[in-house]
């Protein structure tokens, strides 16, 4: 049976979500290693990777994002100063038969262990430790639980998507555990899937770098994704929301058939709902470990979000769409410790990549004037 984490003082986080000033600014030699989300600048995108850049953008737009920071690609690149490491990994990859799945996995395992065993400069360890302590102080919680998230520089390219190929670690607590998870994120640039995909797409293995995100963990009642268009037909007048109990990993990975809703962007009414049998959820066990647990029978076929929740999710997804100026694929969660009305937080936003490439029909091409008006009213405003 899952249990919730101890109640956290989120009131402070709500009051300062747009100005995360609780952590000291890291200057001098550390400034190229750590970027706080609230101080993100678009010129830093190449340093922080796609996922971190998205979180920084969302916080810049005053959207509710759990506080955190990025460990830049400069920290990752330091380990490649060891020419022996580079030579060993190149040798492993040079003779690899990419059609041999077993060999691919074995090579990946050896490369990842070698990277994780590589010493990290003391200044980098100190910078990460000092930043984690600052985040814990800001959240008024020693050993604050965090999500340690891979953020590769090649995520969500127009002609290739590396999203989902690298690792994320949830509910990590303490400086040593955080540092170990960071190493595993770095090494996950060489998962067997990532190696095979780069080969198939013609990318050089060392042309992609890895940043890591350290973000205050949320304890979700429910979580999921939202598309600011209908993914079944490209209708931009609707927001499609998938939701399931607990952490969103079950939805993102496709392990659970989520509840599905369509919300009209203009009138914000739920126009379609499909409630699924949600057999399990990812949540905390008695020891504070994330586990896959069976959902009690009384909740399995119950909607995991209310209509008010859906309207709030819709509103935040639309704000992300307006900020970026194009349809978005948004990850969200409802934190059980935040007050109702303020409990929806955003964990990621990326451009929708399927229907966004389909040209919009000219207004004169539609035979439904009402639909044309609604589509015009719900179209995002380009801000850049």
Residues 164-180 pLDDT 10s: 568 899 999 999 999 99
Token code pair at residue 124: 């980098």
Q: Which residue in the block uniquely carries the two structure tokens 């304890």? A: 219
Asked if residue 59 has pLDDT above 70, the reply is yes
Span of 2-11, 115-124, 169-178, 204-213 with lowest mean pLDDT: 2-11
**CB 290 within 8 Å of CB 223:** no
Does residue 265 sit in helix, strand or coil?
coil
Q: In order of start, what are the domains of the chain with their CATH numbers?
A: 10-216 (3.30.1490.20), 220-378 (3.30.470.20)
Q: How many of the other CB atoms lie within 10 Å of CB of 270?
A: 14
pLDDT digits (tens, 9 = 90+) for 24-58: 443 333 468 999 998 999 999 999 999 999 999 99
Asked if residue 9 has pLDDT above 70, the reply is no
Does residue 270 sit in helix, strand or coil?
strand
Question: Which of residues 207 and 291 earns the better pLDDT score?
Answer: 291
Using pLDDT thresholds of 50, 70 and 90, give the confidence band for residue 116.
very high
Q: What is the mean pLDDT of the chain?
A: 83
3-state secondary structure labels for all residues of 76-134 = HHHHHHCHHHHHHHHHHHHCCCCCCHHHHHHHHHHHHHHHHHCCCCHHHHHHHHHHHHH
């Amino acid at each position: 049976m899952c249990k919730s984490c101890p109640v956290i003082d989120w009131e402070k986080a709500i009051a300062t979500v747009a100005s995360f000033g609780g952590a000291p600014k890291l200057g001098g030699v550390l400034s190229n290693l750590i970027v706080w989300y609230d101080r993100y600048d678009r010129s830093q995108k190449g340093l922080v990777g796609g996922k971190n850049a998205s979180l920084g953008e969302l916080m810049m737009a005053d959207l509710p994002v759990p506080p955190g920071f990025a460990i830049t690609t400069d920290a990752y690149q330091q380990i490649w100063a060891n020419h022996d490491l580079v030579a060993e990994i190149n040798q492993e990859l040079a003779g690899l038969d990419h059609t041999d799945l077993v060999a691919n996995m074995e090579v990946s395992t050896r490369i990842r262990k070698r990277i994780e065993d590589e010493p990290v400069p003391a200044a980098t360890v100190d910078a990460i430790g000092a930043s984690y302590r600052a985040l814990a102080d800001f959240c008024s919680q020693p050993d604050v639980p965090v999500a340690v998230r891979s953020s590769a520089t090649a995520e969500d390219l127009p002609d290739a998507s590396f999203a989902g190929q690298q690792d994320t670690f949830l509910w990590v607590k303490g400086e040593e555990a955080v540092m170990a998870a960071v190493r595993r994120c770095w090494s996950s640039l060489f998962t067997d899937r990532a190696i095979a995909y780069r080969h198939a797409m013609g990318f050089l293995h060392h042309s992609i770098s890895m940043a890591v995100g350290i973000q205050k963990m949320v304890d979700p009642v429910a979580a999921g994704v939202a598309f600011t268009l209908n993914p079944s037909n490209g209708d931009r007048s609707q927001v499609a929301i998938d939701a399931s109990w607990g952490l969103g990993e079950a939805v993102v990975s496709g392990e659970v058939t989520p509840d599905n809703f369509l919300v009209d962007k203009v009138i914000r009414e739920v126009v379609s709902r499909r409630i699924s049998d949600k057999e399990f959820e990812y949540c905390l066990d008695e020891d504070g470990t994330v586990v896959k647990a069976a959902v009690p029978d009384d909740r399995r076929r119950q909607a995991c979000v209310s209509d008010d929740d859906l309207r709030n999710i819709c509103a935040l997804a639309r704000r992300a769409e307006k900020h970026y100026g194009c349809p978005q694929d948004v990850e969200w969660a409802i934190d059980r410790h935040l007050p109702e009305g303020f409990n929806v937080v955003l964990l990621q936003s990326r451009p929708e990549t399927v229907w966004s490439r389909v040209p919009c029909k000219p207004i004169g091409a539609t035979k439904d004037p009402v639909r044309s008006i609604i589509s015009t009213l719900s179209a995002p405003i380009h801000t850049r």
